[in-house]
């Protein structure tokens, strides 16, 4: 599962000299980086109805204040293997991030001379904790697959109705 944006960044800038005597051309080449959430799960089913889940998760984010042509990214990742009974839920957590943002607002010129009168400082702290709930279902027949599909469809339709009603 990949929920991300593909952001461009400057990879190379080349200047090509003109043979006709004019100024020449600047050629920029860009590369792209996925920024968002990537989740990879490889299941293996045992004979005693347990599911071995090899899980790899990565969360990347563009850090504010970086260069526009070469954005800086922050990455959090986890790689683990779990053994889970059929239809039992497991919670994957630990991808915690603390962000602090300092903002200075001031009246031009006066804020530098009289900061206690014409400047306002704020500090904003944000804590993000990503939790993923995984419930494996071992499906052995077509009827089981159809029953799970109908159950999920009802759940999705119910959620849409709740959103439309403003709940």
Shared domain check, 145 and 79? no
Question: Do residues 33 and 4 lie in contact, with contact meaning Cβ atoms separated by under 8 Å?
Answer: no
Shared domain check, 97 and 17? yes
Considering the entire predicted model, what is its pTM?
Answer: 0.62
Shared domain check, 101 and 162? no
Per-residue pLDDT reduced to its tens digit, 115-136: 888 888 888 888 888 888 999 9
pLDDT band at 44 (very low <50, low <70, confident <90, very high): very high
Q: Is the pLDDT of residue 66 over 70?
A: no
Task: Report the domain count for the chain.
Answer: 2
Shared domain check, 124 and 166? no
Q: Could you tell me the end-to-end alpha-carbon distance of the chain, in angstroms, rounded to an integer?
A: 28
How many CB atoms are located within 10 Å of the residue 135 CB? Answer: 11
pLDDT band at 142 (very low <50, low <70, confident <90, very high): very high
Domain extent at residue 161: 139-167
Token pair recorded at residue 87: 């239809």
């Amino acid at each position: 599962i990949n929920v991300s944006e593909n952001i461009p960044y400057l990879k190379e800038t080349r200047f090509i000299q003109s043979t006709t005597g004019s100024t020449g051309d600047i050629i920029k080449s860009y590369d792209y980086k996925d920024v968002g959430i990537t989740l990879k799960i490889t299941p293996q089913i045992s004979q005693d109805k347990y599911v071995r889940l090899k899980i790899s998760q990565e969360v990347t984010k563009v850090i504010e204040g970086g260069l526009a042509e070469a954005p800086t990214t922050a990455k959090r990742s986890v790689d683990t293997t779990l053994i889970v009974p059929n239809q039992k839920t497991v919670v994957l957590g630990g991808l915690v991030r603390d962000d602090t943002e300092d903002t200075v607002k001031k009246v031009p010129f006066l804020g530098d001379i009289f900061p206690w009168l014409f400047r306002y400082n704020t500090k904003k702290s944000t804590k993000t904790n990503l939790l993923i709930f995984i419930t494996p279902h071992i499906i052995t027949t077509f009827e089981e697959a159809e029953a799970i599909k109908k159950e999920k469809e009802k759940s999705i339709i119910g959620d849409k109705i709740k959103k439309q009603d403003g709940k």
